[in-house]
Amino acid sequence: MIFSGIQPSGDLTLGSYMGAIKNWVEMIDEYNAFYCIVDMHAITVRQVPADLRRRTLEQLAQYIACGLDPRKVTLFVQSHVPAHAELGWVLSCYTMFGELSRMTQFKDKSAKNTENINAGLFTYPALMAADILLYQTDFVPVGDDQRQHVEICRDIAMRFNNIYGDVFTIPQAYIPKVGARIMSLTEPTSKMSKSDKDPGGCVHLMESPDDIMRKFKRAVTDSDTAENCVRFDPAAKPGVSNLMQIYAGSTGRTFEEIENEFCGKGYGAFKAAVGQAV
């Protein structure tokens, strides 16, 4: 059994696709799959109800367009299944305050939304644990940024099981080897995000080919002019390494193959090829 979901907080991004949805599609023939639009998580940030409903339907359409066949998988909206909220409350009673306060995503989001640090944002991991555990999930295909949430879900499930018996399956995160964490094109040390202040840093799935190419041509690299300037080194070359992740995820090539392909060609040709592949 596999379960995963994404908030309907805006157009799906390339990061969402490579870090999660691409793997969802690849797994549907092997597992019984439940994929969700987690609209209750979205209201930790203030929403216009009509816009949230519209984005929910648009995201469902994008799920299907990405290859999630409703005849093979279960696609649903989180708020349509009240058991998610019910179990979320129960599990919050078995979640420690210290655990929640250490969550990286809470720290990041509360820093960005200082005027709306609500309890829902703080207890978000308990509801996410309910989403996962409700379906006796074995694997949770997610991007690397969600690893910590799956780990706390495992802790909550084991704590509950130690008291009441083997109630929940203990899930495992399924993190792709390539594309697990796609970074901003303009700030490659930060994750690509729908809320990126620089629109050039985030690629949306519904953008036109011309707009996508324009963003990749302007993507940040570095000043290296060596023949082998296209090489995978996240610490020293974060921009180039991010583009290599995207190219590898789009073409199936290894990093070594990419380095050989663009040896002596420079960044202009490389960025154009990445944009074309996407």
3-state DSSP assignment of residue 72: coil
Whole-angstrom distance, CA of residue 178 vs CA of residue 189: 17
Catalytic pick among 22, 112, 194, 215:
194
3-state DSSP assignment of residue 237: coil
Whole-angstrom distance, CA of residue 248 vs CA of residue 29: 23
Catalytic pick among 72, 112, 177, 191:
191
Whole-angstrom distance, CA of residue 128 vs CA of residue 152: 10
Catalytic pick among 109, 215, 237, 271:
109
Please say if 109 is a catalytic residue: yes
**Nearest to 6, CA basis, from 16, 15, 14, 233:** 16
Q: Which residue has the tokens 């179990």?
A: 87
**Nearest to 127, CA basis, from 97, 156, 98, 84:** 84
Please say if 72 is a catalytic residue: no
User: Which spans in 68-179 are helix H?
Assistant: 83-92, 97-101, 104-112, 119-133, 147-164
Please say if 112 is a catalytic residue: no
Whole-angstrom distance, CA of residue 92 vs CA of residue 129: 9
Inter-residue contact 143 to 20 (CB < 8 Å)? yes
User: Looking at the DSSP assignment, which residues form a beta bridge with residue 13?
Assistant: 204
Count the neighbouring beta carbons within 10 Å of the beta carbon of residue 38: 22
User: Looking at the DSSP assignment, which residues form a beta bridge with residue 5?
Assistant: 36
The dihedral region occupied by 261, where left means phi > 0, alpha psi between -120 and 50, and beta the remainder, is alpha
Q: Looking at the annotation, which residues are catalytic?
A: 109, 191, 194
